Amino acid sequence: MIRDYERVAKKTEAAARSEIIGDLCRVQRYAFSLDWEFPDDGSLDFLSPGRQNRDYVATLSALDWDSFYESLSGGEFLDALRGI
């Protein structure tokens, strides 16, 4: 999800990023629902911290977090995620 945001944000002018953040912080496409009967129609969704494969560590460590925050409005994106 972070890498998807990074890819789109690099193609989007800074002034227009606020408009795309709402769409890109929708976690439903990355989460899955637990198949369980909860009382009162409750549900539980799981959002993994990332793909747990050989490339995960390399992908995560390759992210330039300073650029993510300073140049790509990453803080605004993470704030939007927190607000969900």
Query: Which segments in the chain show pLDDT lower than 50?
Result: none
pLDDT in the model for residue 58 = 82
Rg (CA), the chain: 15
pLDDT in the model for residue 75 = 94
Please give the C-alpha separations between residue 24 and each of 34, 53, 54, 57, in angstroms, as whole numbers.
Answer: 23, 23, 25, 23
Partners of 32 in beta bridges: 46
Per domain, the residue ranges of the chain are: 2-82
pTM assigned to the model: 0.78
pLDDT in the model for residue 77 = 94
